[in-house]
């Protein structure tokens, strides 16, 4: 968040380039707060990983699957689909943002190392995957590769092994002046896998 006045993403795909200190793209398009964001799809998976970035995504809650043998690690987040650069004479960015359910699958070796003074303050810095290998129990699952995952937050790290994720978009992205959606407008905490209409 410290970088907020210096860096803007024109699109989530600019994420890695901008973190390498390249100049952010400039915007000359006047944004109407009633405009609609063109959402490519409502379900994102590990196949889309290279096109996604979770920087500054706020975490509202985490949960674990209560169903036997699902081994899911779930996060309720506000996902920023697009950062809108300030126009000439403006100071602050705007954000196309939506509440999402991020579910990692076939999770094990989960380590949560966070220091939290206020439960609502968890914000993701980055999500990293590495070390692709044949998954544990490959004969019983539908995936043929798993990774070491690291969720870096401003409060510490969460690490685990997983075959991948599904991210469900629960509302159409809204243009806001904040990086979080008002709790009431996002319908509170949810781990729903249902899509909006």
The 10s digit of each residue's pLDDT in 86-115 is 888 888 999 999 999 999 999 999 999 999
The 10s digit of each residue's pLDDT in 132-181 is 999 988 888 889 999 999 999 999 999 999 999 999 999 999 999 999 99
CA distance 43 to 170: 9
Instruction: Identify whether the C-beta of residue 136 lies closer than 8 Å to the C-beta of residue 122.
Output: no
Query: DSSP class of residue 123?
Result: B
CA distance 161 to 7: 31
CA distance 100 to 59: 10
Q: Which two tokens stand for residue 18?
A: 């901008």
Instruction: Identify whether the C-beta of residue 143 lies closer than 8 Å to the C-beta of residue 161.
Output: no
The 10s digit of each residue's pLDDT in 56-75 is 999 999 999 867 677 999 99
pLDDT value, residue 157? 97
pLDDT value, residue 47? 96
What is the pTM (predicted TM-score) of this model? 0.82
- Residue 113, SS3? strand
Q: How far is CA 97 from the centre of its chain?
A: 10
Domain ranges of the chain: 8-18+40-176
pLDDT value, residue 65? 84
CA distance 149 to 176: 30
């Amino acid at each position: 968040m410290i970088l907020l006045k210096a860096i803007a993403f024109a699109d989530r795909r600019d994420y890695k380039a901008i973190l390498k200190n390249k100049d952010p793209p400039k915007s000359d398009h006047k944004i109407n707060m009633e405009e609609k964001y063109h959402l490519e799809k409502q379900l994102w998976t590990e196949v889309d990983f290279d096109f996604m970035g979770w920087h500054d995504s706020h975490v509202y809650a985490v949960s674990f699957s209560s169903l036997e043998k699902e081994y899911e690690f779930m996060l309720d987040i506000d996902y920023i689909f697009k950062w809108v650069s300030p126009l000439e004479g403006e100071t602050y960015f705007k954000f196309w943002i939506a509440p999402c359910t991020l579910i990692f699958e076939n999770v094990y070796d989960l380590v949560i190392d966070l220091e939290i003074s206020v439960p609502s303050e968890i914000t993701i810095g980055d999500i990293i995957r590495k070390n692709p290998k044949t998954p544990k129990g490959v004969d019983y699952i539908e995936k043929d590769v798993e990774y070491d995952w690291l969720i870096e937050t401003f409060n510490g790290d969460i690490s685990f092994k997983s075959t991948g994720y599904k991210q469900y978009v629960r509302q159409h992205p809204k243009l806001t002046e904040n990086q979080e959606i008002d709790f009431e407008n996002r319908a509170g905490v949810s781990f729903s896998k249902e899509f909006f209409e």
